[in-house]
Structures are given as structure tokens and as C-alpha cells.
């Protein structure tokens, strides 16, 4: 059974990149465009890993991460937070929200894949 990755990203182009990248290595990709959708998808689909963007409409990535990690049945799902370079202190905030790893934009597709693989194998 292929691993399923929940990608939370509001930019369609970025989702397309991840779609292509993940499909290429045989992972299944579940998509969510904001924090609310991410919560629902995490609960209903129980993905193997979550790739969480920070700047999201409705509910931002920090809050979504915090809420997922607050649920005992979802706590085990590794969350990789993707932050923007724009704001300093993002890494600390992401860690505080309970994420497992942290990748800053712009990321190299190859490096992102390496990080994802660390949690899926």
C-alpha cells in the first residue's frame, strides 16, 4: 500500500509541483487548501505524513498543527512545516506548535523528498 501524504498548500502551482514530485516516487497525495480542510482531511483520511504550509487562509499552519497534535489519535502523524523565508522566528514558532520537521521556502524538491522519506521509511 502506497504511503499517503496530506499536502496543505493554498497555491495551486505549488500543489502541482508536489503532485508531480510525490507521484514520481509513488506516494499518494491528499490535498487541502487551508487549515480547516487540513483538520478534516487529517481526521477522515489519516495520512502517513502532513506537509503543512504556514501562510494559509481561514486557519494558519501553526494553529492547524497545534490542533492536530492536540488530538491523541492524530498525534503520531509526522508534520513537516514549510515556512516562508519572510519572517524571522518562524522556526521557533513552528517547533512550538508541535511540528516534527521544518523546511523553509524556497525548498529544493530533492531535499524536501529526502526529509519526507526520513519519516516514511
Partner 1 sequence: MNLEADPTSFLAQRPYAAAPGASRDAASVRRNLIGFELRPSLRTKLLMAFLLIEVLLVSVGVIGLLSLREADQRANQIVALQHKIEAYRQMQHDTLRQLYGVSTALEFADETTLAIALRQINQFGYDLDRVSFVAKDEVALLNQVREEYGRFIAVVSNIVDLIRSGRTAEAKRSERAELGPLADKLERLTNQLVNRAEADMVAGIDTSRQTYAKSLILVAAVALASLVLTLVLGHAISRSVINPVGIIHDGLNRLAAGDFSQRIEVPNHDELGELAAHVNSTSEELQQLYQRLEEASRHKSQFLANMSHELRTPLNAILGFSELLLDGIYGEPSEKMRSAVERIQRNGKHLLGLINDVLDLSKIEAGQLRLSLADYSVEELVNGVYTSVESLAAEKKLDLKIAVPVGLPPARGDERRLAQALLNLVGNAIKFTDAGEVRIEVEAKGASLKFSVHDTGPGIDEPDQAKIFQEFQQVDNSITKAKGGAGLGLAIAQRIVEMHGGRIWIESRLNHGATFSFLVPARLEQEAKQT
Do 35 and 50 contact (CB within 8 A), yes or no? Answer: no
> Could you identify the residue written with the cell 489519516?
46
Angle separating helix axes 109-120 and 12-24, nearest 10 degrees: 60
| Residue 114 in the binding site for partner 1 (CB under 8 A) | no
List the x/- string, 84-103, binding to partner 1 by CB under 8 A.
Answer: xxxxxx--------------
Q: How far is the CB of 109 from partner 1 (least distance, A)?
A: 5
Per CB under 8 A, the segment of 36-44, 62-70, 71-79, 81-89 that binds partner 1 is 81-89
**Residues whose CB falls within 8 Å of the CB of residue 40, separated by 6 or more in sequence, listed in order:** 32
Binding site for partner 1 (CB under 8 A): 11, 13-14, 17, 20-21, 24, 84-89, 105-106, 108-110
Amino acid at each position: 500500500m502506497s504511503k499517503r501524504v496530506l499536502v496543505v498548500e493554498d497555491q495551486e502551482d505549488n500543489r502541482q509541483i508536489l503532485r508531480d514530485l510525490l507521484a514520481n516516487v509513488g506516494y499518494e497525495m491528499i490535498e487541502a487548501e487551508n487549515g480547516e480542510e487540513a483538520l478534516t482531511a487529517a481526521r477522515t483520511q489519516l495520512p502517513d505524513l502532513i506537509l503543512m504550509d504556514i501562510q494559509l487562509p481561514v486557519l494558519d499552519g501553526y494553529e492547524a498543527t497545534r490542533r492536530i497534535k492536540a488530538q491523541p489519535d492524530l498525534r503520531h502523524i509526522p508534520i513537516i512545516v514549510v515556512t516562508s523565508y519572510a519572517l524571522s522566528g518562524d522556526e521557533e514558532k513552528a517547533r512550538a506548535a508541535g511540528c516534527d520537521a521544518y523546511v523553509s521556502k524556497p525548498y529544493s524538491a530533492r531535499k524536501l523528498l529526502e526529509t519526507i522519506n526520513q519519516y516514511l521509511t
